[in-house]
Amino acid sequence: MNSYKQSIRVVYPQDSGRIALRTDHDWDVNLEAFRRNGCTTEFRIETERPYFYFKPVLLSNATTMWSRGENCLAVAMSGAPLKVHPFFREDTRCSVCELMPPLASPSGVQHRFRVFLPPGLQREHTEPEPATVYK
């Protein structure tokens, strides 16, 4: 049988508790971190399956809080590390700002845009992180 290794980085503020992972191998067992550095918790998982589902959990004061949203899929045979930004609070709405003033392009065409923030970003994720832009 093949053995696959998957690296998963969970980005979440450390002052809220300790991050662990649960997987579809056994949803009742916490997988502990390989390393913690600032707001990033790193996991290294070895599996015989080419893919698996996982979900971050927040452990604090003898309670386990599951991250909101769908389970995450890890394709272990790809070898690519995963980076997830979970949220744990009830706020599941995306934040939308107003329509921004037009930006001029070199061709003179003006573009208007809105910024959509994913759930939990303003309340839970306060650490600086490079922005991702989708066209």
Q: Domain extents for the chain? A: 4-84
For domain 4-84, the CATH class is mainly beta
Q: Express each pLDDT in 120-132 by its tens digit.
A: 555 555 555 555 5
Phi, psi for residue 104 in degrees, rounded to 5: -85, 140
- Residue 11 bridge partners (DSSP): 40
Q: What's the residue count for the chain? A: 135
DSSP H or E run through 6:
strand 4-11
Q: Is the pTM of this model over 0.75?
A: no
Q: Express each pLDDT in 3-62 by its tens digit.
A: 899 999 999 887 778 999 999 999 999 999 999 998 899 999 999 999 999 999 999 888
Specify whether the CB–CB gap between 103 and 113 falls below 8 A. Answer: yes
- Residue 107 bridge partners (DSSP): none
Q: Is the pLDDT of residue 135 over 50?
A: no
CA count, 13 A, side-chain hemisphere, 97: 11
